[in-house]
Amino acid sequence: MKKINILLAEDHVVVRESIRKSLEAEAKFNVVGEASDGEEAVRLATKLKPDVIVMDISMPRLNGIEATKQIKAIQPSIAILILTAYDYEQYIFSLLSAGAAGYLLKDISSRELIEAIQTVHKGESVLHPLVARKVLERFRTAKGEASGEQGGDILTEREMDVLKMAAKGKSNSVIAEEMHLSIHTIESHLGAIFNKLGVGSRTEAAIQAIKRGWLTLEELP
């Protein structure tokens, strides 16, 4: 099995070492380098060409937003996963616009980070529930689209259940556990949901559900 090559960009040594230790415990991961500032992150991304970069925002010399812009311009195939303590809207939308594949807060568990890395490596996006709520808020419409379509007209009852749980930020493993299904089954349901809605990620699917009136912000965390 080909390993996922990861670059860590984090200026706090203790935090960086802790993340590295967690990731190196996974046989499928290979941490190829560490950057302590934004400029070093850009340089190492160019040199090492990792599959995924776990990037902080607040770093010396060059912040995570500018580093993300430069890296995506040079190596657009690299998936950049933001891991930060800040959920400011200006950061969220600047980074998503710059091409970040995910935005997580540092209150997540090691297992959630591991699953997020696998998710962005597959080309999907992943957002912390608080961040997802801010994104969904921006796309909310007062009454949904005027088509009158109900969720059940397009998605099965089980697919709607999976979509609602995914929109709340629950990982595939948590959804599988709560629904008493396998992770593979949950992934299959998400794939069917994406195909039916014409989207590429759970965030886009949730936005579609909000816009169509199938899901309300009150149902989210």
Based on the domain organization, do 164 and 196 belong to the same domain? yes
Range of the domain at 189: 141-219
Based on the domain organization, do 86 and 193 belong to the same domain? no
Query: Can you give the pLDDT at residue 144?
Result: 47
In a domain, 46, yes or no: yes
Based on the domain organization, do 27 and 115 belong to the same domain? yes
Predicted confidence (pLDDT) per residue in 145-192, tens digit: 445 555 557 899 999 999 988 887 778 888 999 999 998 999 899 989
In a domain, 135, yes or no: no
Based on the domain organization, do 31 and 96 belong to the same domain? yes
- Among 107, 125, 112, smallest CA distance to 174 is for 112
The 3-state DSSP class for residue 168 equals coil
In a domain, 85, yes or no: yes
Burial class (CB in 10 A: 0-12, 13-18, 19+), 113: buried
Q: How many whole angstroms separate alpha carbon 41 and alpha carbon 31?
A: 13
Query: Can you give the pLDDT at residue 148?
Result: 52
Residue 139's pLDDT band (cuts 50, 70, 90) = low
| CATH code, domain with 69 | 3.40.50.2300
H-type helices in 147-182, by residue range? 151-154, 157-167, 172-179
Query: Can you give the pLDDT at residue 146?
Result: 44
